[in-house]
Amino acid sequence: MIDVREIMDILPHRYPFLLVDRILEVNETSIRALKNVTFNEEFFQGHFPGQPVMPGVLLVEAMAQAGGVLLLSGVEDRKNKLIFFTGIDNCRFRKPVVPGDQVIFEVEVINVRKTFAKMRGRALVNDTVVCEAQLMSAMTERS
């Protein structure tokens, strides 16, 4: 298990944009990550007053962050690398995510070519898929 402090050693994201709280499992080709969704999240102030729903784009971003941890976990000089999100295919939002939900992100590598990767991701709440997508990314040097 990887806690949020170790995640911050791998990813450059910080509050309020770090959307992964813990890595539950990681191996060479897949990762399971967790996000506890609380009413204190900044985005709930405007999305939507009186009926808070986590924006779908943030679910996809959290999936991509989990994928970034997966891709960087096997890189020796990861402190000198960045993963840029380059594309989304076949994205579907199945159910809303609301305060109190615990989202599990499952991301697996489909294909890696040099610095480019294609991954398949799912977000689940109580074992129900709430979002799924194919994600593309590119690894670059940090400046």
What are the catalytic residues?
Answer: 47
Q: How far is Cα 76 from Cα 97, in angstroms, rounded to an integer?
A: 35
Structure tokens at 130: 């709430």
> Which regions of the chain does DSSP assign to beta strands (E)?
22-26, 30-36, 81-93, 102-113, 116-125, 128-141
Q: How far is Cα 70 from Cα 19, in angstroms, rounded to an integer?
A: 15
